[in-house]
Chains A and B, each alone.
Chain A
């Protein structure tokens, strides 16, 4: 079992819909949780990060972390075709600085 599990999709939704992306993890030492967006043939770019449990909102994006369930989520409201990309969850903790990524979910927003 990999440390971070993420459904690769593809996930296809109509424009304007609310999108929910999720990851589960097994390493209880993880303390920092991030969501990256990656367009085709580009490097990942950071969307949001959360420390420990809780919610964080930034514009149309909301990140949630539930450490008791080892489950993190990213919600995208009013989804746009430009949101079509691969979304990677990433985590770190336990003294390690390198990130542990999920496989990424390929998201398609249909106009």
Chain B
């Protein structure tokens, strides 16, 4: 069964350091999402890609966070510099969603996440 892959699964870093997370969506999925889930909270959308283009990054803290999906397949989320408050689970999801695609709903499939601890 196809799955969303993420790496690393766990990352410990010190504040002010740079960190990067990688996501490989399900093959053929045009839309890719990055969510952040703080312990005890629900996931919050950080950025959404349609192919290689950013569709929504309104909740991405752009002073320190960046995301790219250069070839419209896998994606990288970077934090520089990391802060204590960035400690969270970073989840990647993908879906078939594409403007004009038949069907109003496209399930978002989530990866296992990367758990980040900033010391």
Interface residues on chain B, size class: 20 to 34
Q: Which residue of B lies closest to A50 (CB)?
A: B105
The residues in A between 17 and 60 inclusive whose CB is less than 8 angstroms from any CB of B are: 31-32, 36, 41-46, 49, 51
Interface string of B85-116 (1 = CB under 8 A from A): 00000010100010000001101111111010
Contacts of A4 in B (CB 8 A): 42
Decide: A43 and B45 in contact? CB cutoff 8 A: no
B90 to chain A, nearest CB (A): 10
Contacts of B56 in A (CB 8 A): 96-98
Decide: A41 and B115 in contact? CB cutoff 8 A: yes
Known: A51-B104, A51-B105, A97-B56. A43 touches B110 (CB 8 A): yes
Task: Tell me the B residues contacting A by CB distance below 8 Å.
Answer: 4, 31, 33, 35, 40-45, 48, 55-56, 91, 93, 97, 104-105, 107-113, 115
